[in-house]
Amino acid sequence: MNPLLTGIFTLFNAGNTFKTAVGSRLYTRWAPQNTPFPYAVLDIVTGIGDWNFTQEFDDIDIQFNLYSQSTSETEIGTLYSTLRALYDDCALTVTGYTHLFMQYDQYWSLSNPDENIRQYTVQYNILLQS
């Protein structure tokens, strides 16, 4: 699903409040060691194929993990709201596919109290037509 990841990063790199809020630190799968906070990690949760009589679709769930080590909720909250502003119902360019939609699905709030790390896992559903 490299074309999809490329499309997501292309939008990210176009310049926006989310990129500014996260300090341009968006990674796939994991962040490099000692990456300063805040940062975000993008990953594919699952994808299934679907079809009708003439068309084939890829129904894909992705997640953004947002990490903050700030002692207040402000920073992680800003990451969340700017992420949503950028990607909710956005138009992606996905080479080889027709991008039908990218919809916000749900999020989970997690934390690591020992290290004062706040985490939001934000899930999106994407439908591509091939």
Partner 1 sequence: MEARWRNVNEVVVEITDPLDEVARRGAEDMAVEMRSRVKQRSGTLSREIDVEVSKFKGGGYLVIAQGSNNYIKYYASFLEFGTDKMDEKGVSYHPFMRPAIKKFRPIIQRKWQEALDE
| Residues in touch with partner 1 (CB under 8 A) | 29-33, 41, 43, 45-46, 48, 59, 61, 63, 65, 67, 108, 110, 112, 115, 117, 119, 121, 123
Nearest-angstrom CA–CA distance, 54 and 56: 7
Nearer to partner 1, 71 or 95 (CB): 71
Q: Closest approach of Cβ 116 to partner 1, in Å?
A: 11
Amino acid at site 37 = F
**If you ran DSSP here, which 8-state letter would residue 37 be given?**
S
Side-by-side strand order, sheet with 26-28? 26-28, 39-51, 56-68, 117-129, 98-112
Q: Closest approach of Cβ 18 to partner 1, in Å?
A: 18
Q: Could you tell me how many residues make up the chain?
A: 130
Nearer to partner 1, 10 or 112 (CB): 112
Nearer to partner 1, 14 or 48 (CB): 48
